[in-house]
Amino acid sequence: MNILVTGGAGYIGSHVVKLLGEQGHTIVVLDNLSKGFREAVLYGKLEVGNTGDRELVSRILRENCIEAVMHFAAHTIVPESVADPLKYYGNNTCNTRNLLECCKDAGVEYFIFSSTAAVYGIPGTAGTVSEESETRPINPYGTSKLMSEIMLRDLCTATGMKYVALRYFNVAGCDPDGRIGQSTPEATLLIKVACEAATGKREKLKIFGTDYPTPDGTGIRDYIHVVDLGTAHLAALDYLHAGGESTVCNCGYGHGFSVREVIDTLNAQLDTPVRVEETDRRAGDPPSLIADTRKIHELMSWQPEYDDLHEIIRSALNWERHARF
């Protein structure tokens, strides 16, 4: 299949491009390289530019006879979205609107959208959310993604284009081969930050909140290996190509680990434990956030291979020690 991958030089997008290339698809990557890296694009050709550039996107879709689009390009830092909401609505929502219009005009058949568990906001006491749970984002990042989901749903209803929106939980880990990884500057994801602290790239690791109603007082999250997240995108594409209807699916493992459990698992792989500082909770952080993943398993027969916290951290630590870019 001829596939356009926006944001394909970034962390998650580059891992999906690698998987697509290994399957033999023809790939075009569109990335403005603000957060991504040329070296991360292992397959296909790279077009440098923005998804909001309709003339550029239309040319790419037309010249390459694009049949499917996987849309990763977005800003993703929650605190930044609170401080600068228009930046997020401009890039994540308005540029997605422009991309969708180009897809409509070009007759693109399938669209896979990179969404987020942030659309759920703070879940109920159980801490587990399904696709039917209420969507009530508490920050502009989550809202910008939910707005994009709504636009995508309505466009596909009107045109017949089919889509899958994948709501990511906590993505972590790196390519087991060590060829690509997460080099996002000023990253905020726990495992990435912890591995930076373990390799001396950060002075310490902060624990935000130790008084949550959880077994050890720290927040619990559902961590998914980036390669398993990548195979979920391939499963979603296969599902649509086989005639599946448009849908939304959670992407996680269906169970979680606390911040302290993550740190303990990391320290077990180190000679010297990471330096930790305990500090206050961050506003809006739920005690627990775990995916109900029954839908993606049932609809798409998705079978993760790296559901192991030790392996997730091992691959992330290996990249941090030997990063190529």
Domain of 217: which CATH number?
Answer: 3.90.25.10
Is there a single domain that holds both residue 69 and residue 150?
yes
User: How many domains are contained in the chain?
Assistant: 2
Is there a single domain that holds both residue 25 and residue 95?
yes
Is there a single domain that holds both residue 216 and residue 227?
no
Is there a single domain that holds both residue 273 and residue 244?
no
Q: Which is the catalytic residue, given 89, 141, 163, 223? A: 141
Average pLDDT over residues 111-118: 98
Contact 116, 142 (CB under 8 A): yes
Does residue 179 fall inside a structural domain?
no
Return the percentage of the chain with pLDDT > 70, whole number.
100
Is there a single domain that holds both residue 152 and residue 107?
yes
Is there a single domain that holds both residue 217 and residue 229?
no
* Residue 160 banded pLDDT, cuts 50, 70, 90: very high
Does residue 177 fall inside a structural domain?
no
Count the Cβ atoms, other than its own, within 10 Å of residue 144: 27
Is there a single domain that holds both residue 137 and residue 194?
no
Is there a single domain that holds both residue 85 and residue 115?
yes
Per-residue confidence (pLDDT) for residue 185, from 0 to 100: 83
**pLDDT surpassing 80 at residue 195:** yes
Q: Structural domain of residue 142, as residue ranges? A: 2-172+223-251
Report the alpha-carbon distance of residue 86 to residue 82 in Å, rounded.
Answer: 9
Is there a single domain that holds both residue 268 and residue 232?
no
* Residue 285 banded pLDDT, cuts 50, 70, 90: confident
**pLDDT surpassing 90 at residue 154:** yes
Is there a single domain that holds both residue 168 and residue 195?
no
* Residue 184 banded pLDDT, cuts 50, 70, 90: confident
**pLDDT surpassing 80 at residue 125:** no
Average pLDDT over residues 147-176: 97
239 catalytic per annotation: no
Average pLDDT over residues 246-266: 98
Average pLDDT over residues 225-251: 98
Is there a single domain that holds both residue 241 and residue 303?
no
Report CA-CA distances (Å) from 182 to 130, 225, 301, 318: 28, 12, 27, 11
Does residue 38 fall inside a structural domain?
yes
Per-residue confidence (pLDDT) for residue 124, from 0 to 100: 79
Stated pTM of the model: 0.96
